Amino acid sequence: MINVALLSRWHVHADDYARQIQNNDNLAIQLVWDENAERGKKWAKELEVPFVDDLQDVMANPSIDAVAVSTPTNLHKEVILTAARSGKHIFTEKVLAFSVKECEEIYETVDQYGVELMVSLPRLTEGYYLYAQNVIDNGWIGKLTTIRCRLAHNGAVASPEKSEGWLPERFFDEEQCGGGSLIDLGAHPIYLTNRLAGKVKQLAARMHHTNNLGVDDNAVVLLEYESGAMGIIETSFLSQGSPFQLELYGTEGTLLIEDKQIRINSNLSSRSEWSTPDTSLEDLPLPMEQWVSAILDRTTPTIGRSDVMNLTLINEIAAKSNQEGCWISVNNK
Are residue 97 and residue 206 in the same domain, yes or no?
no
Are residue 143 and residue 273 in the same domain, yes or no?
yes
Angle at 302 between CA 234 and CA 198, to 5 degrees: 45
Is residue 187 domain-resident? yes
Q: What is the pLDDT along the chain (333 residues), one digit of tens a residue?
A: 999 999 999 999 999 999 999 999 999 999 999 999 999 999 999 999 999 999 999 999 999 999 999 999 999 999 999 999 999 999 999 999 999 999 999 999 999 999 999 999 999 999 999 999 999 999 999 999 999 999 999 999 988 878 778 999 999 999 999 999 999 999 999 999 999 999 999 999 999 999 999 999 999 999 999 999 999 999 999 999 999 999 999 999 999 999 989 999 998 776 668 888 876 689 999 999 999 999 999 999 999 999 999 999 999 999 999 999 999 999 876
* Residue 74 burial class via C-beta count within 10 angstroms: exposed 0-12, middle 13-18, buried 19 and up: middle
Is the CB of residue 13 less than 8 Å from the CB of residue 188?
Answer: no
Nearest to 191 by CA among 291, 39, 86, 313: 313
Are residue 210 and residue 140 in the same domain, yes or no?
yes
Mind spelling out the 3-state secondary structure of 11-77?
CCCHHHHHHHHHCCCCEEEEEEECCCHHHHHHHHHHHCCCECCCHHHHHHCCCCCEEEECCCHHHHH
The per-residue pLDDT for 260 is 85
Are residue 254 and residue 223 in the same domain, yes or no?
yes
Are residue 145 and residue 261 in the same domain, yes or no?
yes
The per-residue pLDDT for 258 is 96
The per-residue pLDDT for 269 is 75
Is the CB of residue 229 less than 8 Å from the CB of residue 145?
Answer: yes
The pTM for the full model equals: 0.95
Structural domain containing residue 212: 123-284
Query: Is the bond preceding residue 95 a cis peptide, omega within 30 degrees?
Result: yes
Question: At 117, is the secondary structure helix, strand, or coil?
Answer: strand
Is residue 292 domain-resident? no
Are residue 171 and residue 40 in the same domain, yes or no?
no
Is the CB of residue 195 less than 8 Å from the CB of residue 212?
Answer: no
Are residue 27 and residue 86 in the same domain, yes or no?
yes
The per-residue pLDDT for 263 is 94
**What CATH number is associated with residue 267?**
3.30.360.10
Task: Please state the domain count of the chain.
Answer: 2
**What CATH number is associated with residue 53?**
3.40.50.720
Q: How far apart are CA 221 and CA 234, in angstroms?
A: 7
Is the CB of residue 66 less than 8 Å from the CB of residue 86?
Answer: no
Is residue 6 domain-resident? yes
Q: How far apart are CA 43 and CA 71, in angstroms?
A: 14
The per-residue pLDDT for 333 is 62
